[in-house]
Amino acid sequence: GVNRSTVMKAYQELKADGLIVSHVGQGTVVVPQVFKPSMPRERQVRELPWYQFFNENITTNSEHLISDIMSLTNCDKVISFAGGFPDPTLFPMEQLEALQGELFKTAQCMLYSHSPVEGNPALRESICQLLARRQMTVPSREIGILSGSQQGLDFVARIFINPGDTVVVEEPSFFGAIQIFRSAGARVIGVPIDKEGIRTDMLEALLIRHKPKFIYTLPTFQNPSGVTMTMARRSQVLTLAYQYQVPVVEDDPYGELPFEGVSLPPLKALDRHGYVIYLSTFSKVLFLGLRVGWVVAAPAIISKFAHLKQLTDLHVNTPSQLLLDQYIRSGLYEKHLLLLRQEYAAKRDCMLAALEKYRVPGVSWEKPAGGYYIWCRLPKQISRHKLVANAARRGVIFLPGEVCYPDGTQGESFARLNYTFAQPEEIQKGINQLMQAVQESMQL
Ligand code: PMP
């Protein structure tokens, strides 16, 4: 027989050499041998084949569009119509700096502490006041604060989508949302839009056939098309949602930026039965780096959001929430919105005038009534790939329209042109260069 201490000693030597590992309760296993004992281990370490470890959900490498746009836009020489960024010259820096100084002087411990998972109560109350102006009367318990509306879209996907489920989006739609829904395993089906918004005549058949988990819509100053859904279509969408019992996810980052008059009421303001989950954000009206957005929904949905918020990152950082609350309460936020409407309307007009001036046959567009984008139809004979390359060579970037379609563009090409970020002289120069690139990119 072999005595116990001899066995233990042998085990310990094997373990010291990395030949076996043992875990309490799981026994001992032999480690597959990768290293040759004769060579120093450090020299034998090879690159880890990460892809063997990824789970099945993680999206593959083609999905870097948003981060690519973010980094290209930071490059000085490029004129960017590609992103959806506010004008950096309009950031209310001095006001925010003053408020922040005051906040850090007076808020003491609270500023440095945790906030509730659903968000700071004062900020939720301030957001209630903002929403009331847009005909949305909701109690603050139906509001949850998020790290941008991007997080809201992610939570929507995590709450509703099982792999293989169907969701309905407008065609075109916000490409970031399409990416998120896809990466959760959804089949994303598009319903075309026209000048009045989503084609409700086509929506009904899809609701019957596919029983989607939700309809994702951007009714006001849509990204990317700039289209605003008419009142008639808004009520048709709600009627269909009630009739076929489908939740509606309303994404509204641009609703506070009407250039003439006031925006139409959001679907959420018209919804009498709690079917609408409303998302919005301060990103497009203050600054993107803030990462504060919010959800408005029935209490049962807010509690699901709160649960995911707790799992993900507990809550939005406290200083940003307190700063925003002060900014809204001071009345400065409202004043800032007035300024943005004026300035962005002027920039929209500047881009429209440049498109007219450097007009190329086959290029057409509609005038958006607010928001961030002009959706430009390109000539039929254009080569999309050549256009992206030719425009970039001329120092201009834009968003190629096909990424905004869940299943290709049925042969048509579009360019989404953002007019809020670039300065007027860049808009002039950039449109001139882009239209020349269009001419260079025709296929004969
Ligand atoms: N939804 C839409 C329609 C957007 O355009 C954007 C920003 N590009 C977002 C959501 C995400 O915004 P946030 O910065 O609030 O995450």
User: Along the chain (444 residues), what's the average pLDDT of each consecutive run of 10 residues?
Assistant: 68 66 66 78 88 73 59 74 94 93 87 94 97 95 97 98 97 95 94 97 96 98 98 98 98 97 96 97 92 97 97 96 96 96 98 98 97 96 91 94 85 92 97 97 84
Atom of ligand 1 nearest to the CA of 288: 14
- Are 84 and 224 in contact by the 8 Å Cβ rule? The answer is no
pLDDT at position 61: 46
Q: How far apart are CA 136 and CA 138, in angstroms?
A: 6
pLDDT at position 46: 87
Beta-carbon contacts of residue 413 (< 8 Å; ≥ 6 apart): 377, 378, 379, 380, 382, 384, 387, 400, 401, 402
Q: How far apart are CA 206 and CA 192, in angstroms?
A: 12
Which of 251, 373, 420 is the best mutation target for the ligand 1 pocket, counting ligand atoms within 8 Å of the beta carbon and taking the most? 251
Q: How far apart are CA 74 and CA 77, in angstroms?
A: 9
Atom of ligand 1 nearest to the CA of 152: 16
Of all protein residues, the one whose alpha carbon is nearest to atom 15 of ligand 1 is 148
Q: How far is the CA of 288 from the centre of ligand 1 (A)?
A: 9
pLDDT at position 292: 96
Q: How far apart are CA 157 and CA 180, in angstroms?
A: 7
pTM of the model: 0.88
Q: How far apart are CA 107 and CA 94, in angstroms?
A: 19
Q: What are phi and psi of 169, to 5 degrees?
A: -125, 165
pLDDT (tens digit per residue) in 145-176:
999 999 999 999 999 999 999 999 999 999 99
pLDDT (tens digit per residue) in 273-323:
999 999 999 999 998 889 999 999 999 999 999 999 999 999 999 999 999
CB of 266 sitting under 6 A from ligand 1 = no
- Are 404 and 377 in contact by the 8 Å Cβ rule? The answer is no
Neighbours of 431 (CB within 10 A): 28
Q: How far is the CA of 158 from the centre of ligand 1 (A)?
A: 17
ipTM exceeding cut-off 0.95 for this assembly: yes
Which of 223, 375, 416 is the best mutation target for the ligand 1 pocket, counting ligand atoms within 8 Å of the beta carbon and taking the most? 223
